[in-house]
Amino acid sequence: MACLLTLFIGGMFTINLLTPNKSFSDSENRNLEQLPAFSIQNLFDKKFTPKFEKYISDQFAFREFWISMKSDIDRTIGKKENNGVYIGKNGFLFQKFTKPEDQDVKNKIEAINNFHLENPNVQKHVMLVPTAISILENKLPNYVSRVDEDTYIDKVKKSLDNEINFIDVYPILSSKKNEYIFYKTDHHWTTKGAYYAYLELSKNMKFTPIQKESFNIKKITNSFYGSLYSKAGFRHIDSDSIELYEPKESIQYKVEYVDEAKTSQSLYEMKNIKKKDKYTVFFNGNHPFVKITTENTNGKKILVVKDSYANALLPFLLSHFSEIHIIDLRYYTDNLNMFIQKNKIDEMLLLYNANTFFEDSSITDLNDKEN
């Protein structure tokens, strides 16, 4: 009997010795620890031993197999969450909503309202998108409350200045909750979900939206395992597919990644289909400032201050504007007021998903006085 165990432990020991080191983990999206350099100083600083332990763990043979075994056992005994992510019905993953501090929420609302006072001639729209946890209530694990996110979005809606137009996408998304509007394994909405929000947006911005029939809907991948899949560690769940909505009447445009001095003829970075984070097909991820110029002659300009949710919705705006300026406050460091004046912006959309809005503090940079 001791033999069997000795065999197992001895076996793992030898296998670990013999298998080559891996450098990157796809599922964890990070570099794996390599053999650390030894020095007496490192040892005394307590740096060497933790690194060595990390090295042993990171390079442990069959790591993926062990992780999936653990997650399967967890699910068998009834566990419904791991690492801040719920697993609901049909393998649907939901990011937990963390209640923000009331003072933080106040600060953010104030930042937006102050920004409005400083730029009174810009028509402002705010879209705070509820995430899957609020919309897909029928897929949540039992007894998980979805009310929190709603309450906070409502707080923002009620406290914004009257002249700011709050676009409430909850009704339309909720009415489509049985459709594939959120990814199962990622925290973003699907292109379809973004499309429905686009319909709501068009009502508010008073243009005629392009109907679904006028799009070629292309499925570009079936094997998207998104951010929540990595975060939660649950395995043996279905992957997602990503669709692109290409208007049948195509429109020419130019995309400038201003800070990187690059231009492109396409909003999509198709190479990223081969990467792990396939959502970056849209705009190749997040940038401080992107400018899109279209062949549209209506002269309408819009500034979009956003997080990554907007990436799936922006393609729909091409047909309606001549210039689309896209700014991500997490990376953009210049003064927005000056930007608006210089570019003569008269319409603006603030587009965030509720989670990022309440967790990320960059929205307060709207009031950044530095140049």
Partner 1 sequence: MVFSSLIFLFVFLPLAILLYYISPKVLRNFVLFVVSLIFYAWGEPVYIVIMIFSTLFDYMNGVLIDKYRSHKGITKAIFINSIITNLVIIGFFKYYGFVVDNINTLFNLNIHVETLPLPIGISFYTFQTMSYVIDVYLGKVSAQRNIIAFGTYVTMFPQLVAGPIVKYSEIDKQLQDRKVTLDRFGEGMELFIRGLALKVLLANNIGLLWTSVKTTSISELTILTAWLGIIAFAFQIYFDFRGYSAMAQGLGKMFGFDFPENFNYPYISKSVTEFWRRWHISLGSWFREYVYIPLGGNRAGLLKQLRNLFIVWFLTGLWHGASWNFVVWGLYFGLFVTLEKLFLLKWLKNRMRIIAHMYTLIIVLIGWVFFEFDNLSVAIRYIGTMFGFNQTAFLDNNTLYYLTTHFTLFCILAICSTPFPKKALVYIREQLKLPGAICMPIFYVILVVLSTAYLVNDTYNPFLYFRF
Which sign, positive or negative, has the C-alpha torsion 329, 221, 229, 179? positive
Give the strands of the sheet with 93-95, arranged side by side: 81-82, 85-87, 93-95
Minimum CB distance to partner 1, residue 264 (Å): 22
Q: How far is the CB of 46 from partner 1 (least distance, A)?
A: 7
Residue type, 8: F
Most distant CA atoms of the chain, gap in Å: 81
Residue 10: CB minimum distance to partner 1, A? 6
Binding mask 298-317 for partner 1 (x = CB under 8 A): ----------x---------
Distance CA 315, CA 312 (A): 7
Which of 26-34, 153-161, 175-183, 204-212 is the region at the interface with partner 1 (rule: CB under 8 A)? 26-34
Size of the site for partner 1 (CB under 8 A): 52
The secondary element (H helix, E strand) that includes residue 77 is none
In contact, 347 and 305? CB cutoff 8 Å: no
Task: Mark 187-206 with x for binding to partner 1 (rule: CB under 8 A) and - for no binding.
Answer: x-------------------
Q: Which of residues 124-143 bind partner 1 (CB under 8 A)?
A: 141-143
Answer yes or no whether residue 54 interacts with partner 1 by CB under 8 A.
yes
Under the binding rule (CB under 8 A), the answer on residue 81 touching partner 1 is yes
Contact, 133 vs 146, CB < 8 A? yes
Q: Does residue 158 contact residue 192 with C-beta atoms inside 8 Å?
A: no
Q: Is 38 in the site for partner 1 (CB under 8 A)?
A: no
Residue whose token pair is 């925290």:
187
Smallest distance from partner 1 to CB 315, Å: 20
Contact between 102 and partner 1 by CB under 8 A: the answer reads no
Closest separation between CB of residue 89 and partner 1, Å?
14
How many CB atoms are located within 10 Å of the residue 207 CB? 15
Least CB distance to partner 1 at residue 60 (A): 6
User: What three-state secondary structure class fits 279?
Assistant: helix
Is residue 35 within the footprint of partner 1 (CB under 8 A)?
A: no
**What residues contact 22, with CB distance under 8 A and at least 6 apart?**
32, 58, 59
37 part of the interface to partner 1, by CB under 8 A? no
251 binds partner 1 (CB under 8 A): no
CB of 96 to partner 1, least distance (A): 11
Distance CA 101, CA 107 (A): 10
Alpha-carbon distances, residue 228 vs 14, 83, 112, 298 (angstroms): 34, 10, 30, 41
In the list 144, 172, 199, 220, the residue contacting partner 1 (rule: CB under 8 A) is 144
| 319 binds partner 1, rule: CB under 8 A | no
As a whole number of angstroms, the distance between CA 15 and CA 346 comes to 65
Q: Cβ 311 to partner 1, closest distance in Å?
A: 11
Q: Which stretch binds partner 1 (CB under 8 A): 64-72, 216-224, 261-269, 287-295?
A: 64-72
Q: How far apart are CA 316 and CA 245, in angstroms?
A: 8
CB of 90 to partner 1, least distance (A): 18
Nearer to partner 1, 142 or 162 (CB): 142
The span from the CA of 28 to the CA of 230, in Å, is: 6
57 binds partner 1 (CB under 8 A): yes
Establish if 52 lies at the interface with partner 1 (CB under 8 A): yes
Q: Which stretch binds partner 1 (CB under 8 A): 11-19, 123-131, 236-244, 314-322?
A: 11-19
Residue nearer to partner 1 on the CB measure, 86 or 321: 86
80, 86 Cβ separation under 8 angstroms: yes
DSSP code string of 132-151: HHHH-GGGSPTT---HHHHH
Task: Give, in order, the Cα–Cα distances in Å from 219 to each of 8, 210, 223.
Answer: 45, 19, 11
* Paired strand residues for 210: none
- The residues binding partner 1 (CB under 8 A) are 1-2, 4-5, 8-10, 12-13, 16, 27-30, 43-44, 46, 49, 52-54, 56-58, 60, 63, 66-67, 69-71, 73, 77-81, 83, 141-145, 187, 227, 230-231, 233, 277, 308, 330, 360
